[in-house]
Homo-oligomer: A and B are copies of this chain.
Amino acid sequence: AETKKIAVIAGDGIGPEVVAEAEKVLQKVGEVFGYSFETEHALFGGIAIDEKGTPLPAETLEVCKRADAVLLGAVGGPKWDNNPKELRPETGLLGIRKELGLFSNLRPAVVFDCLKDASTLKPEVLEGTDLMVVRELTGGIYFGEKFRRQTEHGEEAVDTCAYNVTEVERIARQAFDIAMKRRKKLASVDKANVLETSRLWRETVIRISADYPEVELEHVLVDNCAMQLLRRPSSFDVIVTENMFGDILSDEAAMLTGSIGMLASASMGEGSYGLYEPVHGSAPDIAGQGLANPIATILSTALMLRLTFGYGEAADAIERAVAEVLDAGHRTSDIAAGRGDALSTTQMGEQILNAI
């Protein structure tokens, strides 16, 4: 088979540790299924600030652009939190999204059996929760004009939120396509009673919905959605929303599953190009100690195989291996619930490798 190119960005904190396990998994599925992967490493985030003086070096962008997909560990940490804007890891994150055209962020929020007690929600409320937040990622108030000016009421700061029809159409189509492969329910979240961008959003989603007659569409105001996620999480299938609302709601949805440390994500561009990363952050407090749980990154790799390369069988194999290892009772310390026999990052990686 054709060699697939993967840009690997280990990043900061526990990033390098969890990415190393995911790379072993890639190699293993390559051997088992006869696929060929070529990885190229690149600096990004805090480590790139330290070594190259910028969170997103030009070489890194080039490595990503000549790859078919990007695997990202995690970026950021207190060390860079007080840097000026151009020297902050999140500036690199916004830059890479824009430069690679990653307009859609897919965040599955599912409950892992072994973690269902970790949620702060009652188990009966959580039962059956399996939703996907589709967040627009390169538009809205994140990327609009920003400035300061003097007014008679003192200095004023301004952020601009803009969406055009093309941007809404492509994210809406993607959300409908995803809904078609799931339970065929789509909740479009906006604030159409207040925002002009939301009114354009809603009109456009309604227009596109004509092409997806099988999908049951509901419009939910963002404040109401924040409530309904708490009240009836299992009733949601796919949620599609704009960048800022998606930032808030996808984190709320992830947290209510109790499984945030195990969740994968994909940021998709045109075609099948995608950047894959765990939902959890760089966890600087446990970095370098072999304590990190590599499962979210390994599951992000499975998403890559399925969504970018169309290697569904290999993706299934990884997901099955993870489930098997968890069923067999193996745990890293974050999910060990105080048990004394927690595995290290590499031990967990090895269990999963063996199960593939």
Residue numbers of A with Cβ under 8 A of B are 88, 90, 94, 120-122, 125, 141-142, 144, 146-148, 151, 153-167, 191, 193-197, 199-201, 222-224, 226-227, 230-231, 244-245, 247-252, 254-256, 260
Whole-angstrom CA separation of A244 from B249 in the bound complex:
13
In the complex, the answer to whether B230 meets A248 with C-beta atoms within 8 Å is: no
Determine which of B125, B247, B254 lies in contact with A120 in the assembled complex, contact meaning CB atoms within 8 Å: B125
Known: A121-B122, A227-B254. A141 touches B164 (CB 8 A): no
Q: Is the CB of B167 within 8 A of A153?
A: yes
The chain B residue sitting closest to A156, CB to CB, is B164
The CA of A151 and the CA of B163, in the complex, are separated in Å by 10
Q: How many copies altogether?
A: 2
Q: In the complex, how many angstroms separate the beta carbon of A305 from the nearest chain B beta carbon?
A: 28
Which chain B residue has the least Cβ–Cβ distance from A255?
Answer: B227
Complex CA–CA separation, A167 to B260 (angstroms): 36
Inter-chain CA distance A161–B156, complex, in Å, is 10
Q: Which residues of B contact A94 (CB under 8 A)?
A: 194
Residues of B within 8 A of A256 (CB): 230
Name which of A94, A165, A195 has the most chain B CB atoms within 10 A of its CB. Answer: A195
Which residues of B lie under 8 Å from residue A125 when comparing CB positions?
120
The chain B residue with its CB closest to the CB of A227 is B255
A230 touches B247 (CB 8 A): no
B224 in contact with A88 (CB, 8 Å): no
Given A120-B121, A122-B120, A166-B153: A158 and B255 interface contact (C-beta under 8 Å): no
Chain B residue numbers with a CB within 8 Å of A162 are: 156-159
Given known A90-B193, A224-B251, contact A120–B153 (CB-CB < 8 A): no
Q: Which residue of B lies closest to A81 (CB)?
A: B193
Residues of chain B contacted by A144 (CB below 8 angstroms): 158
Measured between beta carbons, the chain B residues less than 8 angstroms from A231 are 120, 255
CB pair B148–A196 under 8 Å, yes or no, is: yes
Question: What B residues does A222 contact at CB under 8 A?
Answer: 247-248
Quick check: A200 and B155 within 8 Å, CB to CB?
yes
Contact indicator B159/A161 (Cβ below 8 Å): yes
- Report the nearest B residue to A121, measured CB to CB: B120
CB-CB nearest in chain B for A225: B248
